[in-house]
Structure 1
Amino acid sequence: MNKQERDNKIIVEVCTGSYDDCIAASKGKADRVELNSALSVGGLTPTEAVLKRVKKDTDLCVICMVRDRAAGFCYPESEKEIMFEQAKALLDAGADGLAFGFLNANGEIDRDSTKEMIDLIHSYQSKREAVFHRAFDVTPDMEKALEVLIELGADRILTSGGKAKAEQGIEMIARLNQLADGRIELLAGSGVNALNANKIMDETGIYQVHSSCKDYLTDPTTEGNDVTYAYLPAPHSSEYDVVSMEKVKELVEAVK
């Protein structure tokens, strides 16, 4: 794919944690959202109620996270069973796809669970997308993991190239894109913004970026007496993170 062809296919995905986040992403002209709950712990499964309202009130493509708890991605059978129930409920409620990650204790792709989830997603008549999220970035051999996900039929991988931020992982993302050779989509995420998105795409050859476009709002009831519900460090301890429509718009205008 040459640069002009790539530029014509550019997709901006925004990581959202609420209905209002999705509305901001839509007003900022994002193409797609990854809908979560609990972004403070990396994103967990959203509710069907939020998904239905987003689908009703926007034209966004909505990829829903399926993740039952914080920390890693090596799940006991009880958690897997719940995640598959969540997955089916979200697909039935209109999700355009699901983002998920299953790893074995050694960090390699859990082939059986991953294949089962991909098959469930692809069993729906209208095309739904199977996205392996950044669990990919903690696998011990990302090139091997790439081939496994291609073999299993995943549609896309969200990755920062094994680094904390996608800009730091440019070399690996470029390598993965070269190895993928069009067999699977790559989506660069973590630390992506209007200032570095073009650099990431230009130097990796990919055409999809994923960003939180983060801003903050204050909730005055976060702390009181000797009790705190703060999850952000100072100076944001009485705040919560939201999607900024302005930052979405800036990112979209920067790359399109």
Structure 2
Amino acid sequence: MSDRAIFEVCAFNIQSAIIAENAGAARVELCDNPVEGGTTPSYGAIKQTREKISILLYPIIRPRSGNYLYDANEFDIIRQDILICKELGCNGISVGVQKIDGEIDIERLKQIVEWAYPMGVTCNRAFDVTPDPLRALEDIIRTGCERVLTSGQQSSAPEAAQMLHQLVQQAGDRIIIMPGAGIKSSNIIKLRAESGAKEFHGSARKATANLMQFANPLVTDFGNVYIADEEEVRKIVAYLK
């Protein structure tokens, strides 16, 4: 194993992206909608974040929550959002597409890789809801993606160390396996040793206090603002060096 591995922060706002860079993360996956697992951030969010951070920036391209089975209109939205990311100088994107039987949609993912070039493409956790992960890995490799973000088809990556190790071994030098979901400073050393992975992904997020001086107690549907915990990101990065 190399002496160094890297950490990608899943950032749900520009503040978290800035914290990620300050804390030594190598890359940011920029998302909106943490409660729904992440959807495509706005043009303004991507533009401002690109201008404020110098580390690698990979916005998620996911037009809605739910599954990764998209109709023609949604697939065209994906195309347009990819072009925006290229226009704004992003380094890559995070995306996933499936067929109705749950398998990776190879042809559509190939098309996405072509649209994205020269940006890189991470296949996101659409991989984790495929019926056969070993076959899905080979399918993704065929599309030209550079990495797979995966929890090993479990609810969190630390629960799937054995599967992640198997995926790392199968992938070899053909594609990067990047464990993500449930990664903390308290489990990263063990997971790294057991999986053999060299890239890891997590949000290290915490809910922030509401700074408003007035709040109507009868209206409670505003949700929370989540910010990356800088101390936690620093710990994870340090453990991976």
TM-score (norm 2): 0.95
2:172 to 181, 196, 209: 181
Would you say 1:69 and 2:64 are equivalent positions?
yes
Match of 1:138 in 2: 129
On the 8 A contact 2:50/2:88 being kept in 1, the answer is no
How far apart in 2 are the matches of 1:188 and 1:213? Answer: 14
1:99 to 94, 113, 122: 94
Task: Determine helix, strand or coil for the equivalent of 2:35.
Answer: helix
2:181 to 185, 190, 196: 190
Q: 1:181 deviation in Å?
A: 1.4
Match of 1:119 in 2: 114
1:242 to 227, 233, 241: 227
Unaligned 5+ segments in structure 1 are 232-238
Q: How many residues align?
A: 240
On the 8 A contact 1:13/1:211 being kept in 2, the answer is yes
Would you say 1:224 and 2:224 are equivalent positions?
no
On the 8 A contact 1:7/1:207 being kept in 2, the answer is no
Would you say 1:170 and 2:161 are equivalent positions?
yes
Q: 1:230 deviation in Å?
A: 4.4
How far apart in 1 are the matches of 2:222 and 2:215? Answer: 7
Match of 1:7 in 2: 3
Q: 1:214 deviation in Å?
A: 1.1
Match of 2:73 in 1: 78
Q: 1:55 deviation in Å?
A: 2.4
How far apart in 2 are the matches of 1:30 and 1:147? Answer: 29
| Root-mean-square deviation over aligned CA pairs | 1.5
How far apart in 1 are the matches of 2:211 and 2:220? Answer: 11
Unaligned 5+ segments in structure 2 are none
Q: 1:11 deviation in Å?
A: 1.1
Match of 1:155 in 2: 146
Match of 1:60 in 2: 55
Would you say 1:35 and 2:26 are equivalent positions?
no
Output one character per residue of 1:7-41: Cα deviation in whole Å (capped at 9) or x when no partner: 23x11100001111111111111111100111221
How far apart in 2 are the matches of 1:219 and 1:69? Answer: 27
On the 8 A contact 1:223/1:229 being kept in 2, the answer is no
Letter in 1 for 2:66: A
Q: 1:47 deviation in Å?
A: 1.9
How far apart in 2 are the matches of 1:189 and 1:76? Answer: 27
How far apart in 1 are the matches of 2:171 and 2:13? Answer: 33
Q: 1:223 deviation in Å?
A: 6.1
Match of 1:234 in 2: none
How far apart in 1 are the matches of 2:32 and 2:10? Answer: 10
Would you say 1:209 and 2:209 are equivalent positions?
no
**CA 1:57–1:225: 2 relative to 1, 3 Å:** closer
Q: 1:57 deviation in Å?
A: 2.1
Q: 1:120 deviation in Å?
A: 1.2
How far apart in 2 are the matches of 1:48 and 1:76? Answer: 22
Task: Determine helix, strand or coil for the equivalent of 1:64.
Answer: coil
Match of 1:254 in 2: 239
Q: 1:224 deviation in Å?
A: 2.4
How far apart in 2 are the matches of 1:58 and 1:243? Answer: 15
